[in-house]
Amino acid sequence: MSADQPPRRHHVVAAVATTAEVLAHPDLDPDMLAPWEHRRLTRIRVQARRDDVVAARLLLRLCASRFTGRAPDAHELVQFCPECEQYEHGRPSLRDSPRTGVSMSHAHGLVAAAAGPGAVGIDVEPSTRRPGPMAVLRRMLPEAELRAAATSRDPGPGLLRAWVRREALLKAGDAGLPLLEWEDPGLGATAAVASAAPVDVLPAMTAPGHW
């Protein structure tokens, strides 16, 4: 990321990347994570899964940096769960910028993050993933989404998109928000962002001369 990028305070900054790309990013380092985040990581047994979690938390800091204009390591991430009234899990926020909405997602070597004005939620899944079983989807997805998917020759992609949209809305904590949904064929990723603000999706990390 070049230092002369102006902050984009009225837009959501969103990004999708592979875990490997984020971990190799020159402006990001796992040392940026807080001690409590490192503590939580030690409970994850599978190395690949741990890498996904680290990468998601780093990508969140990069998106926050693009949104606020501050350095990625200037942001202190906090999480609070209102149900258990406990910190260190639940919806993330920035201690230094409480009105900035932030969100992150990880799935099998893919990560996504977003930062913007107000509530925001992001979700990513591998495009090959097929959510299910149908009994579960019938409980979780709106009737219209299920009907639309059922009428197509291959309902799988439609159901996956519906699932990703639902997750993005859940993470934003507001089911009424507009959604932006896209597929990145290069990454094999299907993603959605829920936000009232316009969304800028950062170009692929592998694009020349960017980030």
Q: Which residue is nearest to Zn ion (CB)?
A: 81
Q: Least CB distance from residue 80 to Zn ion, whole Å?
A: 9
Q: Least CB distance from residue 86 to Zn ion, whole Å?
A: 6
DSSP string for 31-96: GGS-HHHHHHHTT---HHHHHHHHHHHHHHHHHHHHHHSS-GGGPPEEEEETTTTEESSSEEEETT
For the record, the structure tokens of 37 come out as 């985040």
Name which of 90 and 156 has its Cβ closer to Zn ion. 90
With CA atoms as reference, report the closest residue to 125 among 92, 157, 95. 157
Name which of 93 and 127 has its Cβ closer to Zn ion. 93
Name which of 4 and 83 has its Cβ closer to Zn ion. 83
Q: Least CB distance from residue 77 to Zn ion, whole Å?
A: 17
Which positions lie near Zn ion, rule CB under 5 A? 81, 83-84
Q: Least CB distance from residue 90 to Zn ion, whole Å?
A: 5
